[in-house]
Structure formats: structure tokens, C-alpha cells
A = this chain, B = another copy of it.
């Protein structure tokens, strides 16, 4: 089976409502017969899992989809094994990955995705689809068992990619951080996706969906732009 992945950079684009920009993309990605999606809220622990589930259902119901959060199941591994599709929401990537490990979900999700089950994520939920969480933008508020992530694709993802640098602030730019990553990890590719865009893998074709250029970083190479809606399966 070929994998079905939708990896959104962010839950919002500019001033739009929560998941608003993503609805047509999700509607196109999930086939009509999928009505219920298993939702993994671990990244959003601070708001509470009930509240997070509701927050996601509000927009998704407008396209006839419903999420049920994994915290409602006694056996999370079984919930993944029986799901029609899985969605992992944004929040803190470290907390998300820690909970994925602590609930023994890494192998379970990998296996279902290999069997063709649709996987969608945004922000932290896209980050963990990469090889490791080494290119997250999040604060390491808890320590996961390992930085190794779901590895649903063979590269690193940097969601919320931006060129912006706050005035009068002396931190690194995002590009500088990613250059440090590839310097420390010379054989890895990093794909930076800007807010509003998504990586989509369908029928063995990888594309960037949206309107803003993506970026590919690799040690010793010039940064390559990725155009939207063209095949970038060479990254797989």
C-alpha cells in the first residue's frame, strides 16, 4: 500500500480562524467515506484534551468530519489499530512525542500508515511525521524517551517556516537554526513549510499544497525553493 500523508505547517494562516485555511485541503485529502478520525491531542496538554477535541470538531464538522480523541479510549494502541484515519494536532512537540512513546504508539501508527491509513497533522503533528523532532521550533518542556519520531517520511520537517527576525532581538533566524541542524547532521534534508502550506503524499507523489514556496536545506548545498503543486517525490 502507498502512504497517505497530509502534513500541514500550521493550524492557522495569518488572521484566519482555527483550521479554516486547511478545510478544503483536508476535504480533498480524506476520502468521502471517512467520517470519523482518531485525534491525538497530546501536544495540546495545556488546554486539556476535552477542550482540544472540541476545538478541532468545530471546524471539521463543516466538512462532515468528526474527530474522537484518543484519551477517550482505554487502549490507545487498539484505537490506532482500528482507526479509519489519524489526525495529530499542534502544540508542544516534546510533550507530544513523549506521550506517543509512553503510550507505545510509535510502532502502532507507523504500521497503520504503512498499510495506507490516512495520517494528517499540523504543526507538532507534522513535525513528528519526520525522522526526528530535531527541527521543531518548540520549547523542550519535557524529555521524551528519544528524539526519533514516526519517520513517515525520510527527511526532517520544519513547520511554521519564516524568514522573519524580530527587530532588536539577537536570537538566530530560522534559516540559521536549520543551517546549524544540517551542519550537525550532514546527510539529512530539512523541508521548511510556511504557514498555510502542507506537504501531501498521495499515490506515491509528494507535493507541497498551498501558495507559498517551501525550502529545502542540506549541508553544503544552497537552499532550494520548492514550488507548490509540483512533484517533489525525489525527497522521499
Contacts and interface: CB of A to CB of B under 8 A. Distances in A.
B180 A141 contact: yes
A92 interface: yes
Interface of A: 10-15, 45-46, 92, 95, 132-143, 146-147, 160, 162, 164, 166, 168-171, 177-181, 183-185, 195
Contact of A133 (B13, B140, B147, B170): B140
Given A140-B147, A162-B169, A170-B11, A184 B95 contact: yes
Contacts of A180: 45-46, 92, 95, 139, 141
Contacts of A179: 46
Most buried by B among A10, A139, A147, A168: A139
Contacts of A181: 139, 141
Contacts of A14: 168
